[in-house]
Amino acid sequence: MAEILVLVDHVDGDVKKVTLELLTLANRLGEASAVWVGGGYDGAKDKLAEYGAQKVYVGSDEELTSYVVAPKAALLAQLVQDKAPAAVLVGATAEGKEIAGRLAVKIGSGVLTDVVDVADGFVAEHSIFGGGVIAHAKVNTGTPVIAVRPNSVPAEAAPASPAEEQVSVALSDADKAAKIVEKVVEEKGERPDLTEAAIVVSGGRGVGKDGFSIIEGLADSLGAAVGASRAATDAGWYPHQFQVGQTGKTVSPQLYVAVGISGAIQHRAGMQTSKTIIAINKDPEAPIFELVDFGVVGDLFQVAPQLTEEIIKRK
Ligand SMILES: Cc1cc2nc3c(=O)[nH]c(=O)nc-3n(C[C@H](O)[C@H](O)[C@H](O)COP(=O)(O)OP(=O)(O)OC[C@H]3O[C@@H](n4cnc5c(N)ncnc54)[C@H](O)[C@@H]3O)c2cc1C
């Protein structure tokens, strides 16, 4: 079976969900080999094994994480040269896409980004125009480098006993051009990560400038992450990093609650694969209702607080 390299996305050993999705996808296409860069591997190896890594290349030299992005591309380029994998998969995050581009240049390959699925023969699927058009593309030159969007492919546990191989790469001056001088861990509240949460409660223009405390209250009663439409983030009512949609984050939780959101195609592009969708909107004609499993036609300022109260009561 052809070996497929999967670059592990992790923060100090905490493996991101997208990696588990990529391992699942890689095992569908061939044999998944995880590529670990940085510290914290010991705490993460069980997770990689649980999700089907057949092999793990461990690059734990401190130098690899002392510089911005380039060393990861350099290590992957060397692995492509040494192991001749059939493809390389990375998460289509901001960093993942930069690594994919750099890697493709280094190995003279084609690169595909924002991919939502990969079929036999490494035919990649892109969802474009807000999910209105599906495009297929294939790399014609070299080892395909494919950046897959988080939450596109469901992760499935497939326990394996991966062999481990320590790897390193000699970094060039160009790889060392941008050194990391300080790392500040972002203050994280109690809420789960937006792209990894099982439940997301999002607010839109209907929520207004001062209404996001209602969204946060509902989210907290459910142990959910908070999201927002672009109308809300552009207005400055909620930070941009929480925007869901075509130009924001893609989420695929078990439950998505859209509050005061009309359901524009660009918003749907980021949440339409959620398992169960609930909307609260005062306009019965709002397009979001075409998509929902449950809809409440009503004023969010009345419905959402009552819902929160009821959920807390039943806990
Ligand atoms: C290139 C491009 C990329 C884009 N990317 C994104 C993206 O990533 N994410 C995104 O979200 N948008 C994106 N947009 C914007 C998108 O087209 C919509 O403008 C946006 O999603 C609308 O946000 P909204 O639903 O919050 O606001 P609106 O469309 O104004 O809807 C507000 C809704 O709130 C309801 N409402 C109002 N008051 C109440 C109340 N008291 N109780 C209950 N309901 C109420 C209204 O009935 C209405 O349906 C993009 C647009 C473009 C052109």
- pLDDT (tens place) for every residue of the chain, 315 residues total: 899 999 999 998 999 999 999 999 999 999 999 999 999 999 999 999 999 999 999 999 999 999 999 999 999 999 999 999 999 999 999 999 999 999 999 999 999 999 999 999 999 999 887 677 899 999 999 999 999 998 889 999 999 999 999 999 999 999 999 999 998 877 767 899 998 899 999 999 999 999 999 999 999 999 999 999 999 999 999 999 999 999 999 998 999 999 999 999 999 999 998 999 999 999 999 999 999 999 999 999 999 999 999 999 998
Which ligand 1 atom sits nearest the alpha carbon of residue 270? Answer: 8
Q: Ligand 1 centre and the CA of 153: distance in Å?
A: 26
Domain that holds residue 129: 3-176
CA-closest candidate to residue 214, choices 96, 73, 309: 309
In this structure, the answer to whether residues 160 and 30 fall within a common structural domain is yes
Say yes or no: 140 and 18 in one domain.
yes
Please check whether residues 222 and 74 belong to one and the same domain. no
Task: Residue 138: give its domain's CATH number.
Answer: 3.40.50.620
Domain check: are 131 and 46 in the same one? yes
Sign for the CA dihedral angle at 245, 248, 249, 253 comes to negative
Q: Bridge partners of 3?
A: 31
Do 133 and 228 lie in a common domain? no
pTM: 0.82
| Overall number of domains in the chain | 2
Residues 207 and 293 in one domain: yes
Query: Measured from the CB, is residue 229 less than 6 Å from ligand 1?
Result: yes
Say whether both 209 and 275 belong to one domain. yes
Residue 93 covered by a domain: yes
Instruction: Indicate whether 84 and 206 sit together in one domain.
Output: no
Q: Which of 101, 137, 102 is nearest to 118 (CA)?
A: 137
Query: Is 182 among the domain residues?
Result: no
Q: Does ligand 1 come within 6 angstroms of the Cβ of 270?
A: yes
Is there a single domain that holds both residue 286 and residue 201?
A: yes
- Which segments of 233-310 are extended strands (E)? 255-259, 276-281, 294-297
User: Residue 223 sits in a domain of what CATH number?
Assistant: 3.40.50.1220
Q: Which residue has the tokens 């075409």?
A: 290
Do 163 and 227 lie in one domain? The reply is: no
Q: Whose CA is nearest to atom 11 of ligand 1?
A: 229
